Amino acid sequence: MSVSEMESLTSSEFVAIIEFLRRYVSVDMDPFENWKFGSNKGKVFVEFSLAPRGPENAYDDVGGSP
């Protein structure tokens, strides 16, 4: 694993990820997406959905409405 994979994201990198994800879910996402990938912490599971799986206040707002 390279050093860059071990370092924390910068603020601008995090903002870029959120913007790319917002674009993806606005244009290309089906009603839901389920992804998995490996990391140095083990498998990571990511779920995108048009409906919350629990109370909406359980989610962190990382960018507000488009």
Rounded mean pLDDT for each run of 10 residues along the chain, 66 residues in total: 73 93 91 92 93 93 74
Range of the domain at 25: 3-53
Per-residue buried b or exposed e for 37-53, using 16+ beta carbons within 10 Å of the residue's own CB: eeeeeeeeeeeeeeeee
Indicate the pTM of the whole model. 0.74
pLDDT at residue number 2: 60
Could you give the number of structural domains in the chain? 1
| DSSP assignment string, the chain | --HHHHSPPPHHHHHHHHHHHHHHHHHT--SEEEEEEEETTEEEEEEEESS-SS-GGGS--SS---
| Predicted pLDDT of residue 15 | 92
Burial class (CB in 10 A: 0-12, 13-18, 19+), 13: exposed
Would you say residue 22 lies in a domain?
A: yes
Confidence (pLDDT) at 6 = 74
Q: Confirm whether 66 is domain-assigned.
A: no
The pLDDT value given to residue 22 = 92
Q: Note whether residue 65 is domain-resident.
A: no
